[in-house]
Every structure is written in structure tokens, then in C-alpha cells.
Structure 1
Amino acid sequence: MEGLIDSLSPLPAEARRSITFDRGTEFTAWRHLKAGLGVDAWFCDPKSPWQKGTVENTNNRLRRYLPRKADPTVFTDRYLRSICDRLNNTPRKCLGYQTPAEVFRLNLMERVTSP
């Protein structure tokens, strides 16, 4: 959770109102997010991957760079950031062929500049 807090804290509160997790044991410290960021945590129902469709799609994309059986501790932060950059800067059909980074920036700017 500390890693999530460190990663999300630079974002404006409007951009981090809630986060949805699956039911994995790695998220048992979810209350720490509320205390650290003021973020509400939600959990998908068991065996309901459609409730987090974007996560499932992203996991499939990640498998190109991080094989399922790979030891995650062998990857450098630089390599992991490069994967994030690639994924966030790849145009998506579901976003009208804009990149996730473009859509995020546009939505964030709209929220910041709206009265």
C-alpha cells in the first residue's frame, strides 16, 4: 500500500477518489489507503472479472513484458516505468484512438478548470 500511496499522492484528489481491487490477499491492507490518501477502496465480487474489465485488459497487455511465472523482484524500477510509459502511450480503439495518457490529461484539465 505504501507504493500505491507514494505513486498516487502527487495526483490531485479529483484524480484519485477511489480504487477498485480484486479479492487478492495483497490488498488486505486496503484501509491504509483511506488513511494515507483519503481514497475509498472497493472490491469486486468473487469470480466477477467483468467488474474490473480495464484491469483484466491491462493484465493481458502486461503479460507481453512480464510473464506470469517471472519473479517480479528481478525487474528494475526503470524497466517497470518503461512498461507503464508504453502502455499509457499506446492508442486504444476504446478511447477513439487516443492514448490513456492523453485522455487522463484531458479529463484532469477539465476537472481543474471547471468552476
Structure 2
Amino acid sequence: MIPLDYRISQRPDFIGDRSQFGHWEGDLLIARRELGDTNVTSLVERKSRYTVMIKNRSRHSRPIIDKIIDAFSPLPAFARQSFTFDRGTEFRGFRALEDGIGARSWFCDPNSPWQKGAVENTNKRIRRFMPGDTDLSNVAQQQLVDLAHHLNSLPRKCLGYKTPAEVFMAHLRECG
């Protein structure tokens, strides 16, 4: 069960309105059940739409959270302030995320994927390249890095036709 003070209704408005950099949404991309347990954590920074993708061998929470910690530890603290997840069991180890990199976790209401719309939109973009019948065990982490790089290099109307990579790097320079 998610503690009351971790629910999205308690999340500050500046996260929801994208006025502050360093707040992420996360989700799990899974393949058809018969293709096994391998999955991909997709993470999107809300303001820049910058995408990070991480391959996982299972849906167990601690290994997934540990990989998020490993991926985000090199970033300065202002670039990894919070993560908004759904209530999947894979994110139950959220306290380790707080202990590991100091990032606060927030959780959507049950059956409310629109509350993390940036990552849901990005997942649709990812599915153009990796449909649901993709055997994720055959996808290398480097392929995910390459796909994220491609997505981060596409200009977006919502970013004034800048790319997520440009906006992300500008915020790192500005705040760093």
C-alpha cells in the first residue's frame, strides 16, 4: 500500500505544471507474457521530455530500483528530484530510491495512467520501434540507449521545436 503522503494528490503543483526541471515519470514496458519477464523501464523528465530506457531481466522491484539509482546517480541532485510512478509492484522499493539518490517518489491513483502522461506518450513512441510482440530478451541495453538518443534528438512542438536533448542539456548548464 502506498502511504498517503506519497500519493499524486500530495505532489506539489510545480511538478504537475512542468515549471521546474528534474522531475521524472517512470513506467515499465512489458512484452507479451509468453516472451518472458524481460522488460524496459522508461523514464521521462517532465519539463524537457528527455528519455532514459533501462533493460531489466525481471519485474522484481529492488533490481529495477537499483538500476534507476545507477543510471541517475551521475546526474546532479537538481536533475533527479522526483519520480512519479504507477502502483505496479515493480516500484514498491521506492524508499531505496530516496535513500540512494535522494529523489522523492509519487504514485498515481489506481488505474489512472493519464496522471503520468509524458511517459505514456513516450511509450507510444517507443512502441513504434518495439511493438508489444518484441522479445525484449533479444534487445541489448545499447539498442535502448540508441533508441532513447533517437527520441531525444527529435524536435518537439511542445518544446518550441527544440529537441529533448537540447532542452535537457540547457537546464543542466543553467542550473549547474
- Higher RCO, Cα 8 Å, sep 6+: 2
Give the % identical residues: 54
Deviation at 1:59, TM superposition (A): 0.5
Residue matched to 2:31: none
Residues 68-109 of structure 1: CA distance to partner in whole angstroms, max 9, x if unpaired? 232322211111111110011111111111110111111122
Q: 2:118 aligns with which of 28, 49, 54?
A: 54
2:87 to 23, 33, 40: 23
Alpha-carbon distance, 1:64 to partner: 1.2
Runs of 4+ residues over 6 Å off in structure 1: none
Cα RMSD (Å):
1.1
Q: Distance in 2 between matches of 1:69 and 1:28?
A: 27
Distance 2:121 2:172 in 1: 23
The aligned length equals 112
Whole-Å Cα distance in 2 between the matches of residues 41 and 8 of structure 1? Answer: 14
Matches within 5 A, 1:85-96: 85-96=149-160
98, 102, 107: which is aligned to 1:38?
Answer: 102
Q: Distance in 1 between matches of 2:115 and 2:99?
A: 25
- Report the CA distance between 1:49 and its aligned residue: 2.0
Establish whether residue 73 from structure 1 lines up as the match of residue 137 from structure 2.
yes
How far apart are residue 5 of structure 1 and its match? Answer: 0.6
Higher strand share: 2
Higher mean alpha-carbon deviation, 71-80 vs 54-63, is at 71-80
Deviation at residue 22 of structure 1 after TM alignment: 1.2
Other structure's SS at 2:119 match: helix
Q: Does 2:80 correspond to 1:12?
A: no
Unaligned runs of 5+ in 1: none
The residue aligned with 1:2 is 66
- Residue 64 of structure 1 aligns to a residue whose secondary structure is helix
Structure 2 residue ranges without an equivalent (≥5): 1-64
SS at 2:84 equivalent: strand
From the two aligned structures, give the one with the greater helix fraction.
Answer: 1
The question of 1:109 aligning with 2:109 is answered: no
Q: Hey, what's the Cα distance between the residues in 2 that align with 1:24 and 1:61?
A: 21
Give the AA of the match of 1:33: L
